[in-house]
Chains A and B, each alone.
Chain A
Amino acid sequence: MSDHVLDISLIVNGERVREHVDARKTLVDFLREDLSLTGSHVGCEHGVCGACTVRVNGEIVRGCLMLAVQCDGAKVETIEGLSDSGEVADLQMAFEQRNALQCGYCTPGMLTTAQDLLTRAKNVPSREEIREYISGNYCRCTGYHAIIDAVESVAQARAKRKVKP
């Protein structure tokens, strides 16, 4: 086997995947083209827009700035996984209720990033903190206010749930 095509084995959304990939294939292209997980979107392809945001080993990364071969042995989670497990169900509901999406292109990355903020923040994040955390995710439709409204409302709701036994 040449070094141009490699065998990789990884866990994607909880399932073991073994594939033969081109060394030059980015993670997001691998997810979309080889695994048909088209929820992760390809926008700018140079790490600016955040549409390809996925989780690798529990941390959010740019799917366009990591190669699929680098994920050999890793645990990858996409919006399909976060959605199916119900992990972001409340965020998805809030996005819908508050019109935090129009075309929806940025939404998977936006949800993944918002979920990362909410799981890491010790307290309910301020609007400013939410704005800053999602500053690496472009949205060309909403003007961001509705997205911040949605994330803030979920942060508050989750904090309330935590207080109740």
Chain B
Amino acid sequence: MKPSPFAYIKARTLKQAVTLLAKHKDDARLLAGGQSLIATLNMRLSAPEVLIDINGIKGLDGIAKKGKFVEIGALARHTQVECSDIISKHAPLIALAMPHIGHPAIRNRGTFGGSIAFADPAAELPACILALDGEINIAGPNGKRKVKADAFFKGLFETALRPQEIVTAVRIPAADRSTRVGFSELARRHGDYAIVGLAASARVNGQGLAGVRLAFFGVGATPVRAKKAEAALVAGNIDAAVDALDLEPHDDVQATAKVKKHLAGVLLRRVAKQLLEARL
């Protein structure tokens, strides 16, 4: 199918984009990488009257280490993140997840901020940000604000973003010597959305782990923390962690809820092993 007609406006500054959003309200959509949006337009699942193209806004695609944090600009393309030395050195979980996102032709266009703002429950990056206790930087008509990932993902494709706001960057703690990360997903074809996936981070604490954060994706309306399993992993018991998984996935086109629950346990064992092995 083809998209229904819309007007196209290329925003040159963040301020202009926010003003245009305020003017057109729900009739407008922001166009960043477009790898989800244009597909939904083609399928007429979405029919905005105005597309505000933010690709021309300068200064939103940087990747930088700022003190104890890594800041990834909203317009950084997946390929750019995948090839970044800063990411491979200071954000190993993101580096692990990147190759799983779509295919090269998709990663050349898709943006980091777009993936976070779109909040597909089966996507890798929202789960990574949640596992890393990241923070989303937002600009809107009332200035700038920050929202923690724990409070950002609210429901199915629903976030804490208000209608006239734009994600400008994502901030995650830079990895240090005590950081351990793990990532695994099961998909029918490489690059497809996962049936189930798991992004995890922790700190080494003596022989064991502390601060374990497990973020599953593809098992609910948002990326989901498995807090009971996190506690069991801190206690050092992988079997207990698997038993403590309290996910409530629904059947979908890929797998039944029962299969998803089983696969979540399989992934937890794999990722727990990654967390317990030295990484840095």
- Which B residue's beta carbon lies closest to that of A72? B10
| Given known A50-B105, A53-B105, contact A135–B7 (CB-CB < 8 A) | no
Alpha-carbon separation in the docked complex, A47 to B109 (Å): 11
B67 within 8 A of A: no
**Is A62 a contact of B7 with CB atoms below 8 Å?**
no
For residue B53, give the distance in angstroms from its CB to the closest CB of chain A: 7
Q: Say if the beta carbon of A19 comes within 8 Å of chain B.
A: no
Instruction: State in angstroms the CA–CA spacing of A26 and B1 once bound together.
Output: 11
A133-B104 in contact (CB<8A): yes
* Cβ-closest chain A residue relative to B4: A24
List residues of A (43-57) whose CB comes within 8 Å of B's CBs: 45-47, 50, 53
Contacting A at CB under 8 A, from B91-121, are 102-106, 108-109
B3 at interface, CB cutoff 8 A: yes
Residues on B with C-beta less than 8 A from A135 are 103, 189-191
Question: Would you call B8 an interface residue if the criterion is a C-beta within 8 Å of the partner chain's C-beta atoms?
Answer: yes
Are A65 and B109 in contact, with the CB atoms below 8 A?
Answer: yes
7 A-B contacts (beta carbon < 8 Å): A24-B6, A26-B3, A47-B39, A47-B106, A50-B105, A60-B108, A137-B103
Q: A4-B7, A45-B42, A47-B39 are in contact. Are A62 and B189 (CB under 8 A)?
A: no
Residues in chain B near residue A70, CB distance under 8 A? 31, 34, 53, 55
Quote the shortest CB–CB distance from A112 to chain B (angstroms): 9
Any chain B CB within 8 A of the CB of A113? yes
**Contact between A113 and B42, CB atoms less than 8 A apart:** no
A-facing mask of B3-40, CB < 8 A → 1, else 0?
Answer: 11111110000000000000000000001001100110
Any A CB within 8 A of the CB of B43 = yes
16 further interface pairs, Cβ-Cβ under 8 Å (given A61-B105, A136-B102): A4-B8, A23-B5, A26-B3, A45-B42, A50-B103, A59-B79, A60-B104, A61-B108, A64-B42, A65-B35, A65-B106, A67-B31, A70-B53, A116-B104, A135-B190, A136-B103
B108/A59 in contact, CB under 8 A: yes
Query: Contact: A3 with B103, CB < 8 Å?
Result: no
| Minimum Cβ distance to chain B for residue A138 (Å) | 9
Near A by CB (< 8 A), chain B positions 53-72 give 53, 55
Q: Does A29 contact B (CB under 8 A)?
A: yes
- Check B51 for interface membership: any CB of A closer than 8 A: yes
Cα distance A3–B52 when bound, in Å?
Answer: 11
Please tell me if B2 contacts chain A, counting CB pairs below 8 Å.
yes
CA distance A137 to B50 in the complex (A): 31
The answer to whether B191 and A24 touch across the interface, beta carbons within 8 angstroms, is no
Complex: A46 Cα to B193 Cα, angstroms: 14
- With A70-B55, A132-B190, A135-B103 known as contacts, the answer to whether A65 contacts B38 (CB < 8 A) is yes
Asked whether A141 is an interface residue with its Cβ less than 8 Å from the other chain, the reply is no
Taking CB as reference atom, which chain A residue is nearest B105? A60
Q: Does A66 contact B (CB under 8 A)?
A: yes
What is the chain B residue whose CB lies nearest that of A2?
A: B7
- List residues of A (98-152) whose CB comes within 8 Å of B's CBs: 113, 116-117, 132-133, 135-137
What is the CA–CA distance of A117 and B104 in the complex, to the nearest angstrom? Answer: 9
Q: Which residues of A contact B31 (CB under 8 A)?
A: 67, 70
CB pair A136 B191 closer than 8 Å: yes
The interface residues of chain A lying within 8 Å CB-to-CB of B5 are 4, 22-24
Query: When A113-B105, A135-B190 are in contact, do A24 and B2 touch as well, CB less than 8 Å?
Result: yes
A6 at the interface (CB under 8 A from B): yes
B contact residues around A3 at 8 Å (CB)? 7-9, 50
CB < 8 Å: which of B1, B51, B190 contacts A23? B51
- Chain A residues 1 to 58 lying within 8 A of chain B, measured CB to CB, are 2-4, 6, 22-26, 29, 45-47, 50, 53
Are the CB atoms of A29 and B2 closer together than 8 Å? Answer: yes
Which B residues are in CB contact (< 8 Å) with A137?
A: 103
In the assembled complex, A155 has its CB within 8 A of some CB on chain B: no
**Docked pose: A65 CA to B35 CA in angstroms:** 6
8 Å CB interface, B70-91 against A:
79
Q: Which A residues lie within 8 Å of B4 (CB)? A: 24
Q: Which residues of A contact B2 (CB under 8 A)?
A: 24-26, 29, 45
A74 CA / B245 CA spacing, docked (Å): 49
